[in-house]
């Protein structure tokens, strides 16, 4: 049975498996899905889906979309960047394909299913452990979607255990070249998100070793073999945003609005993405795209300096600085300063933008910047969790329990687990609740997640063509109920019924090592245990 990790990315996806024979991870090359071999480039899977038949359904996924030329097809059958749409807080936009409704959730489910099935077939149809990676700024909605779709695709008999780990934390393990106990800053900047994490590497018995070998028996269970997450921050910012800004600038120079693009949108989006990539190694890049529908030619030249000015205009560097500063502020509270950091690891394609690298070199010094494993580090490091390396992590968001306020007579939330809480909890959180009305026969335990800031993308349709628009709005401190739906609520039944104003149940909340919030409920009137370590909801 295999141990597999999947780094499901906005632009590319990586699947890795642990090879016992060589004591190291290997990136899987999946036929039809993975890009062809290239010098210095791992077998990445483009996160693309093209719907051939929306009713059947019949699709092409990954590299097959590019091989057939559908990545520039210009119609609603092409799905790209759907990971951002799945994780967005807005209602999913549905597009009609062959009489059937399709959303980013639908495309993501089928894409992920294609990847999982191919990996399962390649590794003997059974998986001992599957490790999934997620951005720091993920909310419970996305975690639940990822776990549910994975288990639905594989089935409970095909995989023994599923674990979820932050992408930058996994990347710290995946570089495999750091000294035990060293402080590592992971700068994970991909197509959809920027995540920054400060991680202390696991300790080993032989302190002189310079390599972290995840299969080495020098690691001992427990604290010495744990990667400890000390601070982390995330923001919804990535290469997709850069592409959209470049596209807007291209249209401005050619005096065209987005609504006028029609079928030329995918070609132009691909052209500006190529510009972004070329400007990483060249001082200038040209765009020339012909639209056969309008006979219009889109021409312009971008220089690296112009790109950097464009990024600055959109507060690109300011947002990066804020994420780094937030992480370093949390580190300073622990007595850790920038000079204590031994290495800064660059992960994700956007981390290789020259001005971004220059910014990091200015902050931390050239000698501490490492960039040789930007694409595989996350998936390879995630396998460390299945090879005996523990993880001491904390919850990124705050969580509260809903109650009926006797003053306002409205539902309010009281915080029970603050952001930054380490898990599993050392001690349970106790909450005493009373009935709110005479004859109440049950008390519902509804948990809310506090979103400190929410922003995302919206896909706007023009005729038969899809255009991706970026929303700049932000909503602060919004509480989102996590289990306030029929069949999802955790309920403590009261017999005899409750009396208002009289303490009736004691709920003891705990968080296990898989971030699952569990509750034990005792009826204070009858002294009976109504629920024992019942699963409530997975936290983030």
With CA atoms as reference, report the closest residue to 189 among 335, 311, 339, 16.
Answer: 311
409 and 331, same structural domain?
no
What pLDDT, in 10s, does the model give residues 225-276? 577 888 888 888 999 999 999 999 999 999 988 888 766 777 888 889 889 9
pLDDT for res 475: 38
Inside any domain, residue 220: yes
pLDDT of residue 157: 72
Asked if residue 194 belongs to a domain, the reply is yes
State the CATH number of the domain containing residue 166: 3.30.420.40
pLDDT, position 86:
87
Residue with more model confidence, 289 or 487: 289
Sign of CA dihedral 55, 58, 64, 69: negative
Burial of 85 (0-12, 13-18, 19+ CB in 10 A): buried
Q: Please determine, for residue 457, whether its predicted confidence score (pLDDT) is greater than 60.
A: no
Let me know whether 503 and 373 are in one domain. no
Q: Is there a single domain that holds both residue 202 and residue 105? A: yes
Report pLDDT for 341.
94
Backbone angles phi, psi at 304, to 5 degrees: -60, -40
Q: Where does a domain end: 366, 393, 420?
A: 393
Are 411 and 504 part of one and the same domain?
yes
* Among 263-267, 278-282, 343-347, 531-535, the least confident range: 263-267
Q: Does one domain contain both 423 and 374?
A: no
Give me the pLDDT at residue 389, please: 59
Which residues span the domain enclosing 449?
395-453+479-538
| Predicted pLDDT at 497 | 93
**Sequence-ordered list of residues with C-beta below 8 angstroms from that of 265, at least 6 positions apart, any chain:** 74, 258, 465, 466, 467
Q: Alpha helix locations (H) across 314-353?
A: 316-332
Mark whether 422 and 505 lie in a shared domain: yes
- 3-state SS string over 166-185? EHHHHHHHHCCCCCCCCEEE
pLDDT in tens, 286-340: 999 888 778 889 999 999 999 999 999 999 999 999 999 999 998 998 899 999 9
For 287, which DSSP code? E
User: In the predicted model, is pLDDT for residue 345 greater than 80?
Assistant: yes
Q: Are 345 and 360 in contact (CB under 8 A)?
A: no
Evaluate if residue 98 carries a pLDDT over 90.
yes
In a domain, 334, yes or no: yes
**Is 243 inside any structural domain?**
no
Q: Are residues 150 and 215 in the same domain?
A: yes
- Do 486 and 356 fall within a single domain? no
CA–CA gap between residue 130 and residue 133 (Å, rounded) = 10
379 with 491, same domain: the answer is no
Task: Give me 315's structure tokens.
Answer: 């507060």
- CA quadruple 339, 356, 312, 12: dihedral sign: negative
| In a shared domain, residues 389 and 399 | no
Phi–psi pair at 450, nearest 5 degrees: -90, 115
Say whether pLDDT at 59 is over 80: yes
pLDDT in tens, 100-157: 999 999 999 999 999 999 998 888 777 888 889 888 777 777 888 888 888 888 776 7
Say whether both 409 and 371 belong to one domain.
no
> What gap in Å lies between CA 8 and CA 26, rounded to an integer?
16
pLDDT at 471: 35
| Mean pLDDT within 37-51 | 88
Final residue before a domain boundary, out of 346, 366, 393:
393
Q: In this structure, is residue 467 part of a structural domain? A: no
Cα separation, 239 vs 244, whole angstroms: 9
Beta bridge partners of 398: 450
Proportion of the chain above pLDDT 70, given as a percent: 85
- Residue 464 is assigned to a structural domain of this protein: no
Domain boundary among 393, 417, 436: 393
For the chain, the average pLDDT equals: 83
Residues contacting 317, CB < 8 A, separation 6+: 311, 355, 359
Distance CA 152, CA 227 (A): 30
Q: What is the CATH number of the domain that holds 400?
A: 2.60.34.10
Query: What is the domain count for the chain?
Result: 2
Q: Does residue 52 fall inside a structural domain? A: yes
pLDDT score, position 67? 93
121-135, 164-178, 394-408, 451-465, range with the lowest pLDDT: 451-465
Q: Which long-range contacts (CB under 8 A, 24 or more apart) does 530-533 make?
A: 530/492, 530/493, 530/505, 531/490, 531/492
Contact 119, 31 (CB under 8 A): no
Give CA–CA dist 136/208, Å, rounded.
Answer: 32
Assess whether pLDDT exceeds 80 at residue 449.
yes
DSSP run (H or E) holding 242 = helix 239-253
User: Is the confidence at residue 211, as pLDDT, over 90?
Assistant: no
In a domain, 179, yes or no: yes
**Taking the CA of residue 483 as centre, how many other CA atoms within 13 Å lie in the half-sphere pointing to its CB?**
21
CA–CA dist 190, 9 (Å, integer): 8
- 371 and 229 share a domain? yes
DSSP 339: G
Identify the three-state secondary structure at position 269. helix
Residues 6+ apart with CB under 8 A from 311: 242, 245, 317, 355
Residue 150 to residue 143: CA distance in whole angstroms: 11
């Amino acid at each position: 049975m295999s141990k597999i990790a999947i780094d499901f990315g906005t632009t590319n996806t990586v699947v890795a498996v642990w090879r016992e024979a060589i004591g190291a991870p290997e990136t899987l090359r999946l036929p039809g899905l993975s890009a062809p071999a290239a010098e210095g480039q791992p077998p990445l899977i483009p996160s693309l889906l093209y719907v051939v038949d929306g009713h059947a359904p019949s699709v092409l996924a990954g590299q097959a979309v590019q091989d057939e030329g559908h990545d520039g097809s210009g119609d609603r059958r092409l799905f790209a960047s759907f990971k951002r749409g799945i994780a967005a807080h807005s209602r999913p936009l549905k597009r009609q394909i062959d009489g059937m409704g399709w959303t980013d959730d639908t495309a993501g489910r089928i894409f992920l299913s294609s990847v999982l099935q191919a990996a399962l077939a390649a590794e003997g149809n059974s998986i001992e452990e599957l490790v999934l990676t997620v951005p720091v700024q993920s909310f419970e909605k996305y975690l639940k979607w990822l776990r549910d779709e994975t288990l639905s695709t594989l089935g409970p008999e095909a995989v023994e255990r599923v674990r979820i780990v932050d992408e930058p934390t996994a990347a710290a393990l995946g570089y495999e070249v750091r000294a035990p106990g060293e402080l590592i800053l992971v700068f994970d900047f991909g197509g959809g998100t920027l995540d920054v994490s400060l991680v202390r590497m696991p300790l080993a018995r032989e302190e002189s070793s310079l390599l972290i070998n995840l299969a080495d028996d020098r690691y001992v269970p427990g604290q010495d073999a744990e990667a400890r997450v000390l601070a982390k921050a995330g923001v919804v910012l990535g290469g997709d945003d850069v592409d959209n800004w470049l596209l807007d600038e291209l249209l401005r120079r050619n005096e065209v609005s987005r609504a006028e693009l029609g079928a030329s949108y995918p070609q132009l989006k691909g052209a500006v993405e190529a510009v972004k990539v070329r400007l990483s190694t060249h001082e200038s890049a040209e765009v020339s795209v012909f639209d056969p529908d309008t006979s219009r030619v889109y021409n312009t030249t971008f220089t690296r300096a112009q790109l950097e000015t464009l990024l600055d205009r959109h507060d690109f560097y300011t947002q990066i600085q804020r994420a780094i500063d937030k992480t370093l502020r949390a580190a300073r509270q622990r007595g850790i300063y920038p000079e204590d950091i031994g290495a800064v690891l660059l992960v994700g394609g956007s981390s290789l933008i020259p001005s971004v690298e220059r910014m990091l070199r200015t902050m931390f010094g050239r000698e501490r910047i490492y960039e040789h494993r930007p694409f595989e580090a996350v998936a390879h490091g995630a396998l460390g969790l299945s090879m005996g390396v523990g993880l001491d992590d904390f919850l990124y968001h705050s969580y509260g329990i809903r109650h009926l306020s006797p003053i306002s007579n409205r539902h309010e939330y009281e915080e029970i687990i603050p952001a930054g809480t380490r898990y599993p909890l050392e001690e349970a959180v106790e909450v005493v609740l009373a009935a709110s009305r005479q004859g109440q026969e049950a008390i519902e335990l509804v948990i809310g997640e506090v979103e400190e800031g929410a922003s995302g993308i919206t896909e706007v349709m023009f005729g038969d063509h899809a255009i991706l628009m970026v929303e700049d709005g932000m909503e602060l401190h919004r509480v989102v109920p996590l289990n306030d739906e029929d069949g999802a609520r955790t309920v403590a039944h009261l017999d005899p019924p409750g009396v208002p104003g009289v303490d009736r149940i004691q709920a003891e909340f705990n968080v296990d090592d898989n971030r699952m919030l569990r509750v034990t409920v005792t009826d204070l009137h009858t002294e009976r245990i109504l629920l024992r370590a019942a699963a409530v909801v997975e936290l983030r």
